[in-house]
Structure 1
Amino acid sequence: MQTLIFDLDDTLLDFKGGEVADIKELFQKHAQLSGAALEEALTTYQAVNSRLWYQYEMKEIDRHTIFQDRFPKTLEKLALSQQVNATQMEEDYAYLRDHNYRMLDGAKELLKSLHGRYRILAGTNGQEETQLRRLKETGLMPYFDQVFTSEGLAVAKPDALFFEKIFASRPDVDKEKTIMIGDGLYSDMLGGQNAGIETIWLNLTKKELPDSIHPNRIAYSLAELAQML
């Protein structure tokens, strides 16, 4: 049996959709923003947060720094540091994020079609408790043989050690018959590349592919991914 390692956020779970709604709710509540100012706050937060996650994946910072810095940095860029409590925003966001049970359209149907034909693992840089809860609440958990998180493994994609630890804990998994599937270029695709395993890039937003990253295949929808598999 061939093994599939699925990323979760924005591959199967609609993290970005929940993030947009949650961040807007936070800035409406804490800073009373609306209209163009609210959109600017969302865009600013997303840029700050993406940069911090990239630094974490590149081992420039630890996980705690992401959660400690993202709202202070965002509020500073928006000139709202004196008016808004960044610590309270992070606490409120943690609750909203942990209860984001959105899925991408077709995610459950895809897993259902693959279940029994492949061994299915999850490999995510997300927080363990959060991801397990979201898989349970969305009804996706029964389709996975096991869930691996960067928090649980104490190492994040794209480090090859992330995958080596998975293989070490699963002697039934053949590295040569394993495919990493995900939307992340610098986490999933570079991670699979570093680990020497096959990769499929789920490119739902038709991003440009950098010269340094070489996925084996590219799917532009979950339906196309299902056909590949």
Structure 2
Amino acid sequence: MDTIIFDVDDTLYDQLVPFKIALRKLLKNSVSEQLLHEMYVSSRKHSDALFEKNLSGEVSLLDMQTYRITAACQESGINISFQEAVDFQENYLEEQHRIMLYKDIELLLDFLNSKNKQIALLTNGDKEHQSMKIKQLGLINWIPKEHHFISNEIGYGKPSEEVFLHIEKKLQLEKSKTVYIGDSFENDVVGAKQVGWHSIWMNHRKRAMPDIGIKPDLVFSNTKELLDSFQK
């Protein structure tokens, strides 16, 4: 592959870590590891469901953020107030200022640069928020700013074809020599495959593969497997 494009959230770092810390503050530690994981997955699901409405301006960023944690709590039989949802989001944001790259991802980025590969980022979300995380992760050390693509800045979000085609034009890439790596089957795998890119699904949350006639080229359950696949 000549061009390797990465998702950011829960692909390059463990997004569950800041979520767990913020949720434990909200629920006063009275929650099991299994329930924390289930609520994280639920929150991501509700966030994805509202993303297009947020992108179009129909739903505000704060409304999306408070809704996703409120809905995740409700699915687990926990009721929280709007203010508690706001407090959770503030704590979650604070913890996101402490996120770190997976160590194997650092090694992979070093390796790809040593091979003169074209590397880019494609992430859904608010420009300011995602830029903060990109900065915190130090990704500018490997990936030039002009290769940072954020959905709300482009005007289209994954899995729409438009956002992938936008990157094709900007990077002048070849479909057959391009791979997109991400953790969301619906956004990352489907989005990449529908425009003819290769796809690697980072399925470290052990989600079931949807039976929709689309499959990733490779599936990995951890970043060590991903690193090894490139270094072979």
TM-score of the two chains, using structure 2 as the length reference: 0.79
Deviation per CA, 1:100-142: give whole Å up to 9, x if none: 4232232211111111421000011133223322232332322
Contact 1:108 1:140 survives alignment (8 Å): no
- 1:41-190 to 2 correspondence within 5 Å? 42=36, 45-46=39-40, 48-56=42-50, 59=52, 61-63=53-55, 64=60, 65-73=63-71, 78-81=78-81, 85-86=83-84, 88-89=86-87, 92-93=90-91, 95-117=93-115, 118-145=117-144, 146-171=147-172, 173-190=173-190
Instruction: Rate the CA distance shift 1:221–1:165 in 2: closer, same or farther, 3 A.
Output: same
Contact 1:192 1:198 survives alignment (8 Å): yes
**Structure 2 counterpart SS, 1:62:** helix
Instruction: Rate the CA distance shift 1:204–1:95 in 2: closer, same or farther, 3 A.
Output: closer
Gaps of 5+ in 1: none
Q: Distance between the aligned counterparts of 2:174 and 2:168, measured in 1?
A: 8
The letter of the residue matching 2:29 is: S
- Please give the root-mean-square deviation of Cα atoms over the aligned residues, in Å: 2.8
Once the two structures are TM-superposed, the CA of residue 91 in structure 1 deviates from its matched residue by: 5.3
Once the two structures are TM-superposed, the CA of residue 200 in structure 1 deviates from its matched residue by: 1.1
Once the two structures are TM-superposed, the CA of residue 165 in structure 1 deviates from its matched residue by: 1.1
Equivalent position of 2:204 in the other structure: 204
Q: Which moved more, 1:70-79 or 1:102-111?
A: 70-79
Equivalent position of 2:2 in the other structure: 2
Q: Distance between the aligned counterparts of 1:4 and 1:16, measured in 2?
A: 24
Q: Distance between the aligned counterparts of 1:205 and 1:71, measured in 2?
A: 18
Q: Which moved more, 1:161-170 or 1:205-214?
A: 205-214
**How many residues align structurally?**
218
The letter of the residue matching 1:201 is: W
Q: Which moved more, 1:193-202 or 1:134-143?
A: 134-143
Contact 2:12 2:105 survives alignment (8 Å): yes
Gaps of 5+ in 2: none
Q: Which moved more, 1:182-191 or 1:89-98?
A: 89-98
**Structure 2 counterpart SS, 1:115:** helix
Instruction: Rate the CA distance shift 1:227–1:53 in 2: closer, same or farther, 3 A.
Output: same
Deviation per CA, 1:16-51: give whole Å up to 9, x if none: 1121112222x05xxxx3324x87985675355223
Q: Which runs of 4+ in 1 moved over 6 A?
A: 38-41
Contact 1:75 1:86 survives alignment (8 Å): no
Q: Which moved more, 1:89-98 or 1:177-186?
A: 89-98
Once the two structures are TM-superposed, the CA of residue 144 in structure 1 deviates from its matched residue by: 1.1
Instruction: Rate the CA distance shift 1:39–1:13 in 2: closer, same or farther, 3 A.
Output: closer
TM-score of the two chains, using structure 1 as the length reference: 0.80
Deviation per CA, 1:129-180: give whole Å up to 9, x if none: 2332223233232211311111111211111111011122223x22231101
**Structure 1 counterpart SS, 2:20:** helix
Instruction: Rate the CA distance shift 1:56–1:167 in 2: closer, same or farther, 3 A.
Output: farther
Instruction: Rate the CA distance shift 1:73–1:228 in 2: closer, same or farther, 3 A.
Output: closer
**Structure 2 counterpart SS, 1:180:** strand
Instruction: Rate the CA distance shift 1:43–1:208 in 2: closer, same or farther, 3 A.
Output: closer
Once the two structures are TM-superposed, the CA of residue 96 in structure 1 deviates from its matched residue by: 1.6
Identity among equivalent positions (%) equals 24
